[in-house]
Amino acid sequence: MNLTELPTQVGIGPVAVGGNPLMDEDTIDFVISAWLEDGQWQVTRLPRRTGISVAALTEALSAQPSEGSVIGFLAVSEDFFVIVRMDGAKPRFLLSDVSAAEDWSIAADILDGLELPMPEDDELDELTPAGDLTLLADLGMSGSEFAILAEDLDLYPDEVLTTVAGRLGFGEQFESLLDPPR
């Protein structure tokens, strides 16, 4: 399944898509994008509504003024996170926990797009990332480093993503965008 071809229903309240309701934007903790411009990181907070579906998220990231890759960071309900890397029109994903697909449509859509099955009941208690653990390797974050960080049960999504941003070189910019008024 091409993840960029999913419906782009954006608005208030959930809408059914393929049997899964879209997420209400109130469940989105934050959506932040980052890209390199003349060797300097540009980091911006996107509207929460851009995180309610894969299509809305990839569309918003594609619209960022970058000539190279754009990285998107999405945190949902202090439960899980998604990192998206847009290289042109081609998205690559990392979902922090496959069990999120049981409750959250965006996580289920990412698993579907990755052609991974929904987690079995016995897998729901495990924190298992899915997707491309190496999507930031060329920027300084190895897949093994990512796996260790993503599987740390003591860290909330915003803490993991702040650590990732710091490792990539824009931690202070990222952290300054975490708590603006809703």
Given this model, what pLDDT does residue 12 score? Answer: 31
Structural domain contains residue 123: yes
Residue 155 phi/psi, 5-degree rounding, is: -105, 135
Q: Is the dihedral of CA 131, 87, 164, 58 positive or negative?
A: negative
Structural domain contains residue 69: yes
Structural domains in the chain (count): 1
Tell me the HSE value of 32 on the side-chain side, using a 13 A CA sphere.
26
Given this model, what pLDDT does residue 160 score? Answer: 96
Given this model, what pLDDT does residue 108 score? Answer: 93
DSSP-derived secondary structure for 61-108: HHTSS-SS-EEEEEEETTTEEEEEEEETTEEEEEES-GGGGGT-HHHH
Structural domain contains residue 5: no
Given this model, what pLDDT does residue 147 score? Answer: 87
Structural domain contains residue 9: no
Quote the strand ranges of 96-167, DSSP E. Answer: 130-131
- The 10 Å CB-count burial string (b at 16+, else e) for 147-163 is eebbeeeeeebbebbbb
Structural domain contains residue 50: yes
Distance, in Å, from the CA atom of 17 to the CA atom of 172, rounded to the nearest integer, reads 37
- In which residue are the tokens 């990839």 written? 58
Structural domain contains residue 6: no
Global pTM reads: 0.85
Q: Which domain, by its residues, includes 159?
A: 14-176
Least Cα distance to 93 among 140, 125, 55 occurs for: 55
Q: Could you report the average pLDDT of every consecutive run of 10 residues in the chain (182 residues)?
A: 37 40 83 94 96 94 89 96 92 93 92 88 75 94 90 92 96 89 52
Structural domain contains residue 77: yes
Structural domain contains residue 88: yes
